[in-house]
Structure 1
Amino acid sequence: MAAFEMQQHVRFQHCDPAAMVFYPRYFEMINLTVEEWFRIGLDWGFHQMHEIDDRGIPTAKIAVDFSAPSRLGDVLDWSLEVKRVGTSSLDVEIIASCEGEVRLTCRSTLVQFVKSTGRPVAWDGLIRDRIRAFEEQGTADQ
């Protein structure tokens, strides 16, 4: 399967006085991309995950390269691809572009844990299979 894809509009709330995206706002957009991937791509929305299943997926590691500025009114195309699936973690690459120009590349590690205990927990088989559908071709457990 291809990467998960979605669009986000650059709004006034995202911008600094120069009408460019203020870099911390990109992290909110990255988080929205992850949240929408879980909701739409994996059919496991954050309400179900957090409130019913007692799970969470905090970011354990994140690195972002900013390639070009985004401006008020831009429509950013976001893609998320799984690079590695571990026992309780996964590595993703998230790219934002506008009209074919890459604006940022994010590499992040997410870890599933049980909220009530704070301990990591292995991916459920069904969710793991859904995650693998977004995995880069040719990768395997490490």
Structure 2
Amino acid sequence: MFSNERHQKIEWGDCDPADIVFYPRYFAFFDASTGALFEAMGYSLKHIRDELGDVGWPMLNTGSTFFKPSKYGDNVIIKSEFTTVGRASFGIRHQLFNDGDLAVECLEKRVWACLNASGTLTSKVIPNEIRARMLSQD
């Protein structure tokens, strides 16, 4: 399955008074990593919206396991990969590494979405070209 890696510097605003990352910030990192995963495939959210007329990939379910704290000034690596690709939904695993150690793992389930004729958000079959790229080993 397709994967991507990105670097993230832990900023002061990411941390709580104990000087460790406040856990909701990890979800913001992982959401940005999902966007980066699609961009690495050649499909930015701008392309999805402007060229395909779809909304994007809203979250259905997410959960994380925390192994090691990260602190202000740490430079971490986030590895993201598709784990499953269904008809309209897909899974992603994000692994955040700090100093070579797995610090956080997050599993997401997302859905390909568009607006129907009445303007309501609804799922849509993932376009074949994008599905093929998700399943690729690049």
* TM-score, normalised relative to structure 1: 0.87
What's the counterpart of residue 18 of structure 1?
18
Letter in 2 for 1:48: H
Q: Which amino acid aligns with 1:45?
A: S
Please give the residue correspondences for 1:38-53 in structure 2 after superposition, counting only pairs within 5 Å: 38-39=38-39, 41-52=40-51, 53=53
Shift of 1:17: 1.6
How many residue pairs align between the two structures? 134
Partner AA of 2:6 in structure 1:
M
The answer to whether the aligner puts 1:66 opposite 2:66 as a matched pair is yes
* 1:97-112 correspondence to structure 2 within 5 Å: 97-112=97-112
Where do 5+ consecutive residues of structure 1 fail to align?
Answer: 136-142
Task: Output the CA distance in 1 between the equivalents of 2:81 and 2:128.
Answer: 19
CA displacement, residues 76-122 of structure 1 (integer Å, 9 cap, x when unaligned): 11111111100011011110011211110001101011134412111
Find the residue that maps to 2:90 and give its secondary structure.
strand
Structure 2: 5+ residue runs without aligned partners?
none
- Equivalent residue, structure 1, for 2:122: 119
Could you tell me which residue of structure 1 aligns to residue 30 of structure 2? 30
- 1:2·1:134 contact (CA, 8 Å) conserved in 2? yes
Please report the RMSD computed on the Cα atoms of aligned residues, expressed in angstroms.
1.7
Q: TM-score, normalised by structure 2?
A: 0.89
8 Å CA contact 2:2–2:135 kept in 1: the answer is no
Deviation at 1:55, TM superposition (A): 2.3
